[in-house]
Amino acid sequence: MSFVTILVSLQVILFIACGVYTRIIEKKDFNEVALFGPQLDTFIFFGMRIPYRIKNDLAIHRLILPSLLHYGFMPLCINIFVEMLIGYIVEAPLGSFRMFIFYLITVVGGNLFGSLFDFYSVGAEPFIYGCFAAIIAMFIVYWERLKATQSQKFCCLFLMVFLLVISLSFLQQVGKSMRMFSTIQTGGVQGVVYPDFPGSLGGFIFGLMGAMMLLPAEKGAGLFRGNKN
């Protein structure tokens, strides 16, 4: 079974679980900022990235679980759409098991990188931008196998990098203009929950390195399958 399919299903299940926990267990309303968005206490309970807990309490699960959680229904839908759009492309040459390893590399690396900047966050951005990086890595590894002229190859690569820069810029601007939650204070340590720009950048960096290590050099798939001559 496809790892991306399992991942998407798990994200939907956890989103429903967060909603049930907020409404039934905590008996609170949904967050007014995001549609059907769980409250902050729910995210903390389910494994939100909290840098001081990762460092002081060795809460390793907070390097993985944040990428399975979402602020609200619309972020969930958008992230799932993007994950399925580019995730299946990355999984094609990797296979399910290597895709699982790639996922761990991107989310752990992205959340570690985000923790360095004291960002409290949830969201699939580290994995999504890791997949962007993996597609760039696929261009590098399978460059000679692409069924296209040199100019077409460079155009495709330029378009991918351009879309990446635009999406990162958009994410940064959203982070400046909108706070999903106000400044929070947990255990005496303050942090601000924004859309996860440093986590996305970390996911991209670790995604590029992970894909370069995991992509099989002898195997192309889909768009990247072609002759070497």
Q: Is residue 7 part of a domain?
A: yes
Rg (CA), the chain: 18
How long is the chain?
A: 229
- CATH label of the domain that carries residue 126: 1.20.1540.10
DSSP string, 137-170: HHHHHTGGG-SS-HHHHHHHHHHHHHHHHHHHHH
Q: Give the range with max mean pLDDT: 6-15, 110-119, 200-209.
A: 6-15
- Domain of 65 in residue numbering reads as 3-224
What does the pLDDT read at residue 186?
44
pTM, 2 dp: 0.80
Residues 126-158: pLDDT tens digits?
Answer: 999 899 889 888 888 877 776 656 666 666 666
- The answer to whether residue 76 sits within a structural domain is yes
- Residue 229 domain-assigned? no
For 166, the token pair is: 């635009």
Are the C-beta atoms of residues 93 and 219 closer than 8 Å to each other?
yes
- CA-based angle 124:130:131, to the nearest 5? 95
- Based on the structure, what is the number of domains in the chain? 1
Query: Closest Cα to residue 70, out of 108, 103, 31, 109?
Result: 31
> What confidence tens digit (pLDDT) does each residue in 54-93 have?
888 889 999 999 999 988 888 888 889 889 988 998 999 9
User: Which residues does 225 contact at the CB level (< 8 Å), separation at least 6?
Assistant: 145
Residue at token pair 């619309």: 74
Contact between 137 and 215 under an 8 Å Cβ cutoff? The reply is yes
